[in-house]
Amino acid sequence: MSARHLVLVGLMGAGKTTVGQQCARLLDRSFVDTDETIVATTAMTVAEIFASQGEAHFRELERRAVADVCASPEPLVIACGGGAVLDPENRARLHSAGLVVWLQAPPDVLVARVGNDTGRPLLRNGGAATLERLALLRAPAYEAAADVIVDTAGRSIDEVAALVVEQWSDQCHTCG
């Protein structure tokens, strides 16, 4: 396998950012979150981009962020925004640039984790119903993107990160 980056995908609340930061520490790599890249380049929050320019514009920025981060010569740990894998171009890029790990959890666990977060525009009309719907709608895209699935329910960040790194070592012992 030619994977270099370790890529985390999954729904909002799956733990991509916190687990990704811990994996980066364990692997002694830099961590990049595509949402944070977008926020840094636009100087706007994700919620502001959705409100002022719409979701389609956000997805375009996300496509660029995914392409840029995949092209990094430095092997990274990458957390993708929850909707990034809906785009087939993103899926193909991520797949050829690294090992893609789907952090999975049932919707009730995701709801408990995201709480009343106002920074996620897609959840503003009710997190529970939206996450239930997105879980069904997006499962095929996560499945298509993922090389590996890690169940995060009932596990701490450290436990999930350790499992992810274990998978990484098993599947990518020859990767940079």
Of 112, 111, 120, 62, nearest to 91 (Cα)?
62
Residue 57: count other Cβ atoms within 10 Å of its Cβ: 13
Contact in structure between 171 and 147 (CB atoms under 8 Å): yes
Binds ligand S3P by CB under 6 A, chosen from 5, 16, 29, 91: 16
Kindly state whether residue 20 participates in binding ligand S3P, applying the rule CB under 6 A: no
CA-to-CA distance for 129 and 75, rounded, in angstroms?
Answer: 37
> Hey, is 77 helix, strand or coil?
strand
Residue 147 token pair? 């090389």
In the stretch 23-42, what mask flags binding to ligand S3P with x, by CB under 6 A?
------------x-------
Kindly state whether residue 127 participates in binding ligand S3P, applying the rule CB under 6 A: no
Of residues 40-79, those binding ligand S3P (CB under 6 A) = 46
Beta strand spans in the chain (E): 5-9, 30-33, 76-79, 98-104, 148-151
Q: In angstroms, what is the minimal distance from the CB of 161 to ligand S3P?
A: 16
Segment interacting with ligand S3P, rule: CB under 6 A, options 23-31, 69-77, 117-125, 167-175: 117-125
Q: Which is nearer to ligand S3P, 35 or 101 (CB)?
A: 35
Binds ligand S3P by CB under 6 A, chosen from 12, 23, 65, 165: 12
Binding-site ranges for ligand S3P (CB under 6 A): 12, 16, 35, 46, 81-83, 120-122
